[in-house]
Chain A
């Protein structure tokens, strides 16, 4: 079995199923009455936490691929990103249903009025175009450059997700700040990849050597 076949036929299905574990455990705990006295809040919290986790995991793919030089890592990016969108959509549904019971006259003013909901909602909305443009055919049609540019929106979603979390906690900010630190490292890595060649070329210029033309690619 070649590595490509192994990744496609074995590893990807395994990861696919692993990604369903959080929702499966949540459902199991719900139906066996192992959640807290307020199970609806538990469902909201758990789906929200996993949304942020999947965004972070998705943002890890490119650095891991570059640092390990294991190209097939990139094959998991779409899968993981779509799971982030999946958990984010579930999380939003818990807000619409358990919190607001689909009472739109309550929901519509609530979204712009409550900053943490505004930010969370915007972060989810920004994932929609990414999910819609995730098929091979559309990626090809868009072309790598445009597709990459669009998918950098995930950076905004990641920051928005952290702010959403930070703005909803009452006193203990340690967990949202931990996610914030991880997102900062992952985005900082990209900034460094983007800037390092530029800085290098500037130095070259100062040494009055012909300028470097190589540019850092900012991949999502």
Chain B
């Protein structure tokens, strides 16, 4: 896949990824606090010799956060992708056999151009851009991830949905022979997700094909995934093979699994707890103290208007 990117950056803006690492800092502090000074300095050495994957963030866009990025290692080894297993380490360990190429995406439903597209053809018209977003998992942890992708809205405009299209439904590939998690029925496969049309058209909603300026690794949803930064992470459906324009609210996998815990909207909301745990705070991966969770994950100014007058406690 050709990755086109903005080349409006100066060499001075190039930041080695090791500088983004902050996890080791507090591990070092913790070891020092426990009197393990020798251990601490060993760990510090490790930081210095850690492979520096250079990432070149472009000039800050209107939706980008300038918070410290999580490392490539954190983003690609700590994943919820149940198709590859339920442990956070499973996707990185089990997704090796997965083949994201060649790839086709079926476009169906109330749309003027229904067809099965080769992925290359589908994304060719769009210029890929970096988007640095917060990602808030429903399990109360979060990361800052530099995605590479294009706005879903741009794709939808080209596909020309009809006036009947009120929602967009997405579907993940079903390949139990390559995805070990799909051999067990703890969720109903294939994974499905959906957005209301206005949510899908929001300039924040991204179709991601990469992160850290590189192609998406399998464990992060290669080759094509959704990123909806003001919603809990599970809305970001991975390895998409179908986009369907529908007139009614489409079913979503976690809502099917536990309707009282996961709703269709799944907007990040510190005031609506998960029935079993609080959503008021979150642990940013790499940090020790928890931080307060922000309404709409900090994107309220861009998205709150879409939910004006809606009872967020009912429409969780």
Question: A residues bordering B, Cβ < 8 Å?
Answer: 30-33, 36-41, 99, 101, 110, 114-116, 167-168, 170-174
Q: Is B276 within 8 A of A110, CB to CB?
A: no
Asked whether B186 lies within 8 Å of A173 as measured between CB atoms, the reply is yes
What's the least CB distance linking A94 to chain B, in Å? 12
B residues adjacent to A (C-beta < 8 A)? 23-24, 27, 30-31, 36, 39-40, 42-43, 46, 70-71, 73-74, 77-78, 82, 86, 88-89, 139, 141, 184, 186-187, 257-258, 276-278, 283, 285-286, 288-290
Chain B residues near A167: list those with CB within 8 A. 276
Which residues on the B side are within 8 Å of A110 (C-beta)? 278
Supply 4 further A-B pairs (C-beta < 8 A) apart from A36-B78, A38-B283, A114-B277. A41-B141, A101-B289, A171-B82, A171-B187
CB distance from A66 to the nearest CB of B (A): 37
Also in contact, A37 and B82, with CB within 8 A (given A30-B27, A101-B289, A171-B257): no
Residues of B within 8 A of A41 (CB): 141, 283
Are A39's CB and B89's CB within 8 A? no
Q: A31-B27, A171-B187, A173-B186 are in contact. Are A37 and B73 (CB under 8 A)?
A: yes
Q: Establish whether residues B27 and A33, one from each chain, have CB atoms under 8 Å apart when the complex forms.
A: yes
Q: What are 9 A-to-B residue pairs whose CB atoms are below 8 Å? A: A31-B31, A31-B36, A31-B39, A33-B23, A33-B43, A36-B88, A37-B71, A167-B276, A171-B257
Q: How far is the CA of A212 from the CA of B40 in the complex (A)?
A: 68
Q: From residue B180, how far is it (CB to closest CB) to chain A in Å?
A: 12
Contact call A37/B77, Cβ cutoff below 8 A: yes
B residues in contact with A172, CB < 8 Å: 82, 86, 184, 186
Cα distance, A4 to B31, chains bound together (Å): 41
Contact among B36, B77, B258 for A36, CB-based, below 8 A = B77
Rounded to whole angstroms, the CA-CA distance of A38 and B290 in the bound complex is 12
CB of A90 to closest CB in B, whole Å:
15
Whether the pair B88, A32 counts as a contact (CB closer than 8 A) is no
**A38-B186 CB under 8 A given contacts A31-B39, A101-B289, A114-B276:** no
Q: Give 8 closest A-B pairs by Cβ, nearest first.
A: A37-B78, A37-B74, A172-B86, A172-B186, A171-B186, A31-B39, A37-B285, A31-B31
Residue of A30, A37, A173 with most chain B CB atoms under a 10 A cut-off: A37
Find the A residue at minimum CB distance from B47. Answer: A33
Q: Which of B77, B88, B276, B283 has the most C-beta atoms of chain A within 10 angstroms of its own C-beta?
A: B276
Whether B27 pairs with A39 at a CB distance below 8 angstroms is: yes
CB neighbours (8 Å) of A30 from chain B are 27, 30
Which of A37, A116, A171 has a CB less than 8 Å from the CB of B23?
A37
User: How far is A16 from B279 in the complex, measured between Cα atoms in Å?
Assistant: 40
**Closest beta carbon of chain B to A82's beta carbon, Å:** 24
Q: How far is A101 from B290 in the complex, measured between Cα atoms in Å? A: 9
Please state if B46 and A33 are interface contacts (CB–CB under 8 Å).
yes
CB-CB under 8 A from B43, the residues of chain A are 31-33
> Please, how many angstroms separate the alpha-carbon atoms of A40 and B86 in the complex?
18
CB-defined contacts of B31 to chain A, threshold 8 Å: 31
Write out the residue numbers on chain B whose beta carbons fall within 8 Å of the beta carbon of A99.
290
**Bound-complex Cα distance A31 to B39 (A):** 7
Which of the residues B74, B86, B88, B285 comes within 8 Å of A171, measured between beta carbons?
A: B86
Give the docked Cα–Cα distance between A33 and B24 (Å): 8
Q: How far apart sit A33 and B285, CA to CA, in the bound complex (Å)?
A: 14
Residues of chain A contacted by B36 (CB below 8 angstroms): 31
- Cα A74 to Cα B77 in complex, Å, equals 44
Contacts of B285 in A (CB 8 A): 37-38
Q: Name the distance in Å between A121's Cβ and chain B's nearest Cβ.
A: 14
Instruction: Tell me the smallest distance from the CB of B81 to a CB of chain A, in Å.
Output: 13
A31 to chain B: which residues have CB within 8 Å? 27, 31, 36, 39-40, 43
Which residue of A has the minimal Cβ distance to B43?
A33
Inter-chain contacts of A171 with B (CB < 8 A): 82, 86, 186-187, 257-258
Contacts of A101 in B (CB 8 A): 289-290
Find chain B residues with CB under 8 A from A40 CB.
Answer: 283, 288
CB nearest neighbor in A for B74: A37
Q: Which residues of B contact A115 (CB under 8 A)?
A: 276
A37 in contact with B70 given A30-B27, A101-B290, A171-B257 (CB within 8 Å): yes
User: What are the residues of chain A within 8 A of B89 when measuring CB–CB?
Assistant: 36
A36 CA to B74 CA, complexed, in Å: 8
Residues of B close to A170: CB separation below 8 A: 86, 139, 258
* Minimum distance in angstroms from B193 CB to a CB of chain A: 15
Q: Which residue of B lies closest to A99 (CB)?
A: B290
**How long is the Cα–Cα vector from A110 to B277 in the complex, in angstroms?**
9
Identify A116's interface contact among B30, B73, B276, B290, CB under 8 A: B276
Tell which of A32, A33, A38, A114 touches B141, judged by Cβ atoms closer than 8 Å. Answer: A38
